[in-house]
């Protein structure tokens, strides 16, 4: 069983005190690896250190780097792109650009500023044929507006809150839909209906740890080691055995990251052409 968490935040403050235990817990619960997702260039170094710790306990770890829309009031376009450039030249090259996107539910963020930050990073990713990891909150239509007008290499909509119709348009645009802890909530009927209607080959699994804990962990921090619970809920919803479902999910995950999961970042400079 090779279970990959496509979205977690290892450098988060919630993990600073006991990251080694958190990572060992993931391994003990059948998680083979994770994509660590960045939020701001100031945190990329901590993120890389956390990824090295993950490898030290025996997990695979890959890095997505980007500036999250919540940081759009503090990180300008130039700073965001400089951070990506630095990361691209480093030993820990991005396998995706994220977490980037638009958040129209969070107050205090200028939409023009968010749009500029998002589209600049979308273009940077497209120039390198990198998928993007999208943050979407009340912003599905605006994200789709930009995706139709900018070249891009697809990616994943993480923590998706939109409708089935909007999800289908993202899928047409070459995007996967990330399925996280929300699926474990028995009352999430609208979301259950959406996820059961979407094509299986569009779905990947994520935790967003330490955020978005599942039903059994309400009020706690979320952990990458809870990923099997999301797999079990999705298997139940789709009427499949978890092992059978995981085969499809792993195929989708490899496709999402365009074969970049096939190597370990520690040796990527020697195996991957620049």
Please give the residue ranges that form the binding site for Zn ion (CB under 5 A): 99, 208
Decide: 32 and 246 in contact? Cβ < 8 Å.
Answer: no
Decide: 143 and 101 in contact? Cβ < 8 Å.
Answer: yes
Decide: 182 and 211 in contact? Cβ < 8 Å.
Answer: no
Q: Minimum distance between the CB of residue 41 and Zn ion, rounded to whole angstroms? A: 16
3-state SS, residue 82: helix
92 or 208, CB closer to Zn ion?
208
Report the alpha-carbon distance of residue 189 to residue 197 in Å, rounded: 12
Report the alpha-carbon distance of residue 63 to residue 84 in Å, rounded: 12
Q: Minimum distance between the CB of residue 37 and Zn ion, rounded to whole angstroms? A: 5
Query: By C-alpha distance, which of 63, 17, 8 is closest to 41?
Result: 63
46 or 274, CB closer to Zn ion?
46
11 or 229, CB closer to Zn ion?
11
Q: Minimum distance between the CB of residue 211 and Zn ion, rounded to whole angstroms? A: 6
Residue 87: exposure state from Cβ atoms within 10 A (0-12, 13-18, ≥19): buried
Contacts of 8 (CB under 8 A, 6+ apart): 34, 35, 36, 37, 206, 207, 208, 209, 210, 224
Q: Looking at beta carbons, which residue is closest to Zn ion?
A: 208
43 or 99, CB closer to Zn ion?
99
Q: Minimum distance between the CB of residue 60 and Zn ion, rounded to whole angstroms? A: 19
Q: Minimum distance between the CB of residue 9 and Zn ion, rounded to whole angstroms? A: 6
89 or 226, CB closer to Zn ion?
226
10 or 234, CB closer to Zn ion?
10
Q: Minimum distance between the CB of residue 274 and Zn ion, rounded to whole angstroms? A: 28
């Amino acid at each position: 069983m090779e279970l990959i968490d496509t979205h977690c935040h290892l450098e988060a403050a919630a993990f600073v005190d006991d990251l080694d235990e958190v990572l060992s817990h993931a391994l003990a619960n059948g998680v083979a690896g994770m994509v660590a997702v960045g939020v701001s260039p100031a945190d990329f170094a901590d993120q890389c250190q956390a990824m090295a710790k993950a490898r030290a306990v025996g997990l695979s770890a890959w890095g997505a780097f980007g500036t999250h829309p919540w940081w759009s009031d503090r990180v300008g376009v130039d700073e965001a792109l400089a951070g990506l450039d630095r990361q691209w030249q480093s030993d820990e090259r991005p396998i995706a650009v994220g977490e980037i996107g638009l958040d129209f539910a969070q107050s205090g963020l200028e939409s023009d500023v968010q749009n500029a930050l998002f589209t600049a990073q979308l273009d940077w990713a497209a120039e390198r044929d990198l998928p993007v990891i999208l943050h979407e909150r009340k912003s599905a239509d605006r994200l789709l507006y930009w995706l139709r007008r900018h070249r891009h290499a697809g990616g994943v909509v993480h923590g998706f809150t939109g409708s089935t119709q909007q999800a289908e348009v993202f899928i047409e645009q070459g995007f996967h839909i990330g399925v996280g802890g929300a699926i474990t909530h028995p009352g999430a009927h609208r979301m259950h209906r959406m996820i059961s209607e979407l094509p299986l080959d569009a779905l990947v699994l994520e935790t967003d740890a330490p955020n978005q804990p599942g039903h059994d962990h309400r009020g706690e921090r979320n952990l990458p080691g809870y990923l099997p619970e999301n797999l079990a809920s999705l298997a139940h919803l789709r009427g499949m055995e978890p092992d059978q479902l995981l085969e499809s999910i792993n195929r989708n995950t490899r496709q999402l990251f365009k074969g970049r999961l096939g190597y370990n970042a520690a040796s990527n400079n020697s195996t991957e052409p620049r």
